[in-house]
C-alpha cells in the first residue's frame, strides 16, 4: 500500500464515486433484498430514494416548452452511523462517504458494490466514472485569516493585486480543468466561501462546525469514453478508479502551504 | 432581518446578451449529500432560476440561512451576544456547554474579556440558530425548548445534541419532520438501554425530591 | 444494559474537565457552598488529635442548609489526597473513592491528581469551610458522579447519574442563580455576600401564587428559563 499521510484534522468532508451507465431495468424487491444481504457488512440499512428531475427546453428566440418532471425511485443502503451511502439508480451507481480515511478503504467498498451490481440486475455499459473530493479548509483563527498563508498563490487569482490596487477582493470562484491522460479530466473548483460546501442537512451525517468562512477545494476526477460504450467490467472499473484517484492527492498537496499542514491539518484537538 | 440569498457572482452581468458563455463542465453527482456549489456554472444557475419560476420543488436548505444569520449576529461583541442569550433565559453553564468552553471562560467574556474568533463564531452561530428555530418553526420559548427532554423519561435535550456537535439533529427536531425516537437513535443507538432505570424521582414527605425503586 | 458506576466522558474517551465547574482562581466566593466543593486546610477532628486536611463536601444538596441560607451545624466531608489517575476502565472499581483527576491542573507534580476517600469521613463545622480556601467546585456532571459513588459505597446500590441529575438539578440550578444574584448585588450595591444570598433566597422562595414559589418552578425544566429571565429583570429593577 502506498504510504500517504492521514491528517488528524483532514479538511475532506465528502468523497463521492459515481459510475454512470446505460439505463438498467428497475431492481425488483427480491433483488434489492439480495443486494442488502451482500452489502450488510458495509451498509446494512436499506431505504428508498426518490429523485425528481425537471427538464426545461428553451428554444432560441422562442417561448420555452412546458417543463417535464420525471420521478425516479431506487434503493439506497446506509451504514449504521449514517456516514456511508450506496445508491443504485437506474443509470448510476453512487457511493458517498462523509467519513473518508484513505482510498484503499473506500476502494474495498466500491469493489463490493460494483460486483454486486454486476451480478444482480446487470448493467450493459459504462458512460462515465467520476471520483470527487470536497474539502472545506477552515482556519481556527476565525474570519480574519489571510488565505495566502494557507493555500497556494495560484488559487488566489486576481485577489493577489488587492493591496496594490486598493480594491479589496472579498469573493472569487475558480474552475480549472486538467487533462492527466486520454479520456480523463480533473476539474478543480475553488475559492473562499461561507457556511458549508456540503449541506449538513443531507442524509449523511457530517461534522458540522459553526458556519463561517472556509476555502473550498472541490476536486472532481472523471473519465468518459471517447468511443463507444465500454462493458461494465468490475476489474476494469476499479483500475479506472485507481487512475482517477492518483492525481487527486498530488493536486491537493501541491495547492496547500506547509503552514496549513503543520498548524491545521496535523493539529490534534 | 433580511437575508440576501441571491448574491451570485456568476450572474450574466452587464449587457451580457451576445456574450458567449464558457462551456459547461460535467460533474460527478451525489445522491445522499448536496454539494452547495450552485453558484458555479452559468447553465446550472439559469436552470435554478427557471426552477424557481415554475414553483419550488425542494425546500432550500436552512444551512445557507444559518450561515447568513451567523455572519450578521457575529458583528456584535461576544459580551453583547451572551447578554442576549441570557435574556432569552439560557443558564451560563448551559451556554458554556453549548459553546464547548468552561463556565469561567463564559464569565470572563461577560466581563468584556476577548474570546477567540472561533469561539465568537460559535456564540454567533448559537444565537443565529435560536433566531432561525424560533422564526421558522414557531417555537416561542426557545430556551425552554432547548432545555426540555425530547422524550419523556429520557434526559436528552437539544442542548445535549448541540453540545455533541449535532446541530443537524437539533434543526431536525425543531422542524418536527422526524420523530424524536429516530433523532435519539441517530444520536445514540443505545439510548433506550442507557436511560432505562429501576429507580425514579418522587417528592418525599419532607417536600424534597428523592429517589426510590420503581414499582415492578 | 446492566448499569454500573459511570465515568466522565463518552464512548471510552475520558473528559476529566467535565467533572469541574471551577478550579483554583476560577472559584468565586459568591457561589454558595455545595456538594462536591473541595476546601483546603480544614480543621478536622481525628481519633487522637485535630489536623488540617483537604476535604470534599459529601452532604447531599438538599441536606446542606437548615433554612435555605445557613449551613447545618455539622457537615459531612471526606478527605481528599493525592492519587494517581484512575483509568476509565477502572472507574467501575475503586469503589471507596471519588477520583478527582486534574483537580489542580496548574501543577505537574503528584498534587495535580487527587481522590476523595470515602473511608476517611469527618464532620466539620460550616465556619471551618472558609470560602477563600475553596479550591474547586464540581459541575453538575461531577456532582452526579460523586453522589452515585458515595451512595454505592454506603449501600452497594447503583443508581444512574441520570436519576441523580433529575433529582438534584433544581438545587444545582438554585445555587447557580444565587451565585449570579450575589455577584451582581455585591458588585452593584456593595452588599456582603451573606446579605445578598439571603436576598436571593427570599426572592426564590417568595409565594407568587398560593404557596407556589420560583424555587418550585425550578423543578420543572420547562420553567427554569422563565425564572432566570425574571431574576435578570428583578436585578435590573433593584439597580
pLDDT digits (tens, 9 = 90+) for C106-126: 999 989 999 999 999 999 999
ipTM above 0.85, yes or no: yes
Q: Look at the block and give the residue holding cell 475558480.
A: A174
What is the rounded average pLDDT of the residues A255-259?
Answer: 95
Chain B residues whose beta carbon lies within 8 Å of the beta carbon of residue C62: 208-209
Q: Look at the block and give the residue holding cell 467490467.
A: A233
Q: Which domain holds residue A152?
A: 12-18+97-265
8 Å CB contact of B165 and A199:
no
**Same domain? B72 vs B18:** no
Band of the pLDDT at B22, cuts 50, 70, 90?
low
**Chain B adjacent subunits, 3+ CB pairs under 8 A:** A, C
C-alpha distances in Å from residue A31, one per residue of A95, A122, A246, C155: 18, 11, 34, 57
In a domain, A58, yes or no: no
Apex C68 CA angle, C66 and C70, nearest 5: 60
Nearest to B211 among C28, C159, C173 (CB): C159
For chain C, domains (ranges, CATH) are 9-159 (2.30.30.110), 166-238 (no CATH)
What is the rounded average pLDDT of the residues B138-151?
Answer: 93
Range name among A142-151, B57-66, C99-108 with the lowest pLDDT average: B57-66
What is the rounded average pLDDT of the residues B55-81?
Answer: 78
Band of the pLDDT at B37, cuts 50, 70, 90?
low
Nearest to C224 among B107, B147, B210 (CB): B147
In a domain, B3, yes or no: yes
Q: In the beta sheet, which residues pair with residue B211?
A: B201
Nearest to B70 among A134, A210, A218 (CB): A210
Give C46 or C138, the one with higher predicted confidence. Answer: C138
User: What pLDDT score was predicted for residue C126?
Assistant: 95
CB atoms within 10 A of CB A26: 13
pLDDT at B7 over 60: no
User: What pLDDT score was predicted for residue A62?
Assistant: 65
Residue B187 near chain C (CB below 8 Å): no
The DSSP element (H or E) to which C114 belongs, if any, is strand C114-124
**Same domain? B67 vs B103:** yes
Residue A76 near chain B (CB below 8 Å): yes
In a domain, B202, yes or no: no
**Same domain? B131 vs B73:** yes
8 Å CB contact of B102 and C26:
yes
What is the rounded average pLDDT of the residues A181-192?
Answer: 93
- Nearest Cα residue to A32 out of A71, A73, A90, A76: A76
The DSSP element (H or E) to which B127 belongs, if any, is helix B117-137
Q: Rounded distance, CA A237 to CA A242, Å? A: 9
pLDDT at C228 over 80: yes
User: What pLDDT score was predicted for residue C88?
Assistant: 92
8 Å CB contact of B197 and C162:
yes
In a domain, A76, yes or no: no
CATH code of the domain containing B98: 1.10.260
pLDDT at A185 over 50: yes
For C168-224, the DSSP string reads HHHHHHHHHHHHHHHHHHHHHH---HHHHHHHHHHHHT-EEETTEEHHHHTTSTTTH
**Same domain? B3 vs B55:** yes
In a domain, A145, yes or no: yes
Residue A89 near chain B (CB below 8 Å): yes
In a domain, A80, yes or no: no
Instruction: State pLDDT tens for residues A217-235.
Output: 999 999 999 989 999 999 9
CA atoms within 13 A on the CB side of C237: 6
In three-state secondary structure terms, C125 is coil
Band of the pLDDT at B42, cuts 50, 70, 90?
very low
Query: What's the domain count of chain A?
Result: 1
**Chain C adjacent subunits, 3+ CB pairs under 8 A:** B
- Nearest Cα residue to C142 out of C57, C218, C45: C57
**Same domain? B43 vs B56:** yes
8 Å CB contact of A196 and B36:
yes
In a domain, B144, yes or no: no
| A152, burial (CB in 10 Å: exposed 0-12, middle 13-18, buried 19+) | middle
Nearest to B104 among C26, C170, C232 (CB): C26
8 Å CB contact of C173 and B91:
yes
User: What pLDDT score was predicted for residue B47?
Assistant: 45
Mean pLDDT score across all residues of chain C? 94
C-alpha distances in Å from residue B137, one per residue of B89, B97, B171, B186: 19, 24, 9, 21
**Same domain? B46 vs B75:** no
User: What pLDDT score was predicted for residue B18?
Assistant: 56
For residue C92 the three cell numbers come to: 467501575
Give A183 or B189, the one with higher predicted confidence. Answer: A183
8 Å CB contact of A201 and B63:
yes
**Same domain? B83 vs B98:** yes
Distance from CA of C46 to the nearest CA of B (A): 32
In three-state secondary structure terms, C159 is coil
How far is C-alpha A44 from the geometric centre of its chain's CA atoms? 22
Q: Which domain holds residue B99?
A: 63-139
In a domain, B115, yes or no: yes
C156: left (phi over 0), alpha (psi -120 to 50) or beta: left
**Same domain? B38 vs B82:** no
**Same domain? B111 vs B52:** no
Query: What's the domain count of chain B?
Result: 2
The DSSP element (H or E) to which B86 belongs, if any, is helix B78-87
Q: Rounded distance, CA C194 to CA C174, Å? A: 15
Amino acid at each position: 500500500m502506498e504510504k500517504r499521510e492521514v491528517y488528524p484534522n483532514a479538511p475532506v468532508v465528502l468523497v463521492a464515486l459515481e459510475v454512470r451507465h446505460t439505463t438498467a431495468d428497475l431492481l425488483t424487491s427480491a433483488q434489492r433484498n439480495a443486494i442488502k444481504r451482500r452489502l450488510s457488512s458495509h451498509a446494512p440499512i436499506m431505504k428508498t430514494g426518490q429523485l425528481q428531475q425537471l427538464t426545461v427546453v428553451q428554444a432560441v428566440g422562442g417561448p420555452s416548452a412546458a417543463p417535464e418532471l420525471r420521478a425516479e425511485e431506487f434503493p439506497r443502503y446506509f451504514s449504521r452511523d449514517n456516514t456511508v451511502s450506496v445508491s443504485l439508480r437506474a443509470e448510476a451507481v453512487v457511493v458517498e462517504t462523509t467519513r473518508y480515511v484513505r482510498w484503499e478503504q473506500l476502494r474495498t467498498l466500491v469493489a463490493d458494490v460494483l460486483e454486486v451490481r454486476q451480478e444482480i440486475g446487470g448493467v450493459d455499459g459504462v458512460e462515465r466514472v467520476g471520483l470527487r473530493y470536497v474539502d472545506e479548509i477552515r482556519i481556527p483563527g476565525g474570519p480574519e485569516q489571510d488565505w495566502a498563508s494557507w493555500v497556494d498563490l495560484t488559487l488566489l487569482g486576481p485577489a493577489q493585486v488587492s493591496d496594490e490596487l486598493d480594491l479589496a477582493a472579498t469573493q472569487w470562484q475558480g474552475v480549472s480543468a486538467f487533462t492527466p491522460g486520454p479520456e480523463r479530466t480533473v476539474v478543480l473548483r475553488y475559492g473562499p466561501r461561507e457556511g458549508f460546501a456540503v449541506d449538513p442537512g443531507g442524509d449523511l451525517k457530517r461534522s458540522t462546525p459553526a458556519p463561517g468562512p472556509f476555502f473550498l477545494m472541490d476536486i472532481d476526477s472523471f473519465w468518459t469514453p471517447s468511443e463507444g460504450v465500454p462493458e461494465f467490467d468490475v476489474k476494469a472499473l476499479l483500475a479506472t478508479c485507481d487512475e482517477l484517484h492518483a492525481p487527486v492527492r498530488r493536486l491537493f498537496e501541491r495547492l496547500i502551504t506547509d503552514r496549513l499542514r503543520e498548524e491545521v491539518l496535523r493539529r490534534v484537538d | 432581518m433580511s437575508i440576501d440569498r441571491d448574491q451570485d457572482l456568476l450572474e450574466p452581468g452587464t449587457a451580457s446578451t451576445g456574450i458567449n458563455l464558457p462551456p459547461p463542465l460535467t460533474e460527478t453527482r451525489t445522491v445522499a449529500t448536496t454539494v452547495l456549489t450552485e453558484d458555479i456554472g452559468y447553465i446550472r444557475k439559469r436552470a435554478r432560476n427557471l426552477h424557481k419560476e415554475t414553483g419550488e420543488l425542494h425546500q432550500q436548505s436552512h444551512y445557507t440561512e444559518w450561515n447568513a444569520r451567523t455572519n450578521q449576529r457575529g458583528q456584535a461583541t461576544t459580551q453583547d451576544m451572551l447578554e442576549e442569550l441570557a435574556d432569552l433565559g439560557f443558564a451560563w453553564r448551559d451556554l458554556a456547554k453549548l459553546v464547548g468552553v468552561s463556565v469561567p471562560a463564559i464569565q470572563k467574556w461577560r466581563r468584556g474579556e476577548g474570546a477567540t474568533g472561533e469561539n465568537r463564531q460559535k456564540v454567533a452561530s448559537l444565537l443565529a440558530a435560536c433566531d432561525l428555530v424560533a422564526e421558522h418553526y414557531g417555537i416561542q420559548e426557545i430556551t425552554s425548548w432547548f432545555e426540555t427532554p425530547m422524550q419523556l423519561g429520557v434526559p436528552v435535550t437539544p442542548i445535549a445534541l448541540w453540545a455533541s456537535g449535532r446541530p443537524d439533529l437539533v434543526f431536525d427536531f425543531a422542524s418536527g419532520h422526524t420523530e424524536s425516537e429516530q433523532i435519539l437513535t441517530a444520536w445514540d443507538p443505545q439510548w433506550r438501554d442507557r436511560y432505562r432505570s429501576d429507580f425514579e424521582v418522587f417528592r418525599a414527605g419532607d417536600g424534597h425530591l428523592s429517589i426510590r425503586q420503581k414499582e415492578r | 444494559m446492566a448499569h454500573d458506576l459511570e465515568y466522565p466522558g463518552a464512548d471510552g474517551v475520558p473528559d476529566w474537565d467535565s467533572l469541574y465547574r471551577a478550579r483554583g482562581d476560577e472559584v468565586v466566593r459568591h457561589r454558595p457552598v455545595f456538594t462536591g466543593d473541595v476546601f483546603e486546610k480544614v480543621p478536622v477532628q481525628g481519633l487522637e488529635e485535630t489536623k488540617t486536611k483537604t476535604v470534599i463536601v459529601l452532604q447531599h444538596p438538599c441536606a446542606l442548609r437548615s433554612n435555605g441560607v445557613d449551613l447545618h451545624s455539622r457537615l459531612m466531608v471526606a478527605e481528599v489526597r493525592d492519587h494517581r489517575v484512575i483509568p476509565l476502565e477502572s472507574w467501575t472499581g475503586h469503589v471507596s473513592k471519588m477520583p478527582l483527576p486534574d483537580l489542580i491542573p496548574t501543577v505537574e507534580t503528584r498534587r495535580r491528581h487527587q481522590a476523595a476517600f470515602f473511608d476517611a469521613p469527618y464532620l466539620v463545622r460550616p465556619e471551618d469551610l472558609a470560602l477563600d480556601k475553596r479550591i474547586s467546585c464540581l459541575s453538575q456532571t461531577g456532582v452526579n458522579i460523586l453522589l452515585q459513588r458515595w451512595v454505592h459505597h454506603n449501600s452497594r446500590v447503583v443508581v444512574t447519574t441520570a436519576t441523580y441529575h433529575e433529582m438534584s438539578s433544581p438545587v444545582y440550578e438554585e445555587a447557580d442563580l444565587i451565585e449570579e444574584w450575589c455577584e451582581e448585588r455585591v458588585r452593584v450595591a456593595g452588599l456582603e455576600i451573606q446579605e445578598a444570598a439571603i436576598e436571593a433566597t427570599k426572592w426564590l422562595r417568595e409565594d407568587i401564587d398560593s404557596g407556589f414559589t420560583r424555587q418550585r418552578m425550578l423543578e420543572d425544566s420547562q420553567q427554569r428559563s422563565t425564572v432566570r429571565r425574571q431574576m435578570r429583570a428583578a436585578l435590573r429593577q433593584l439597580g
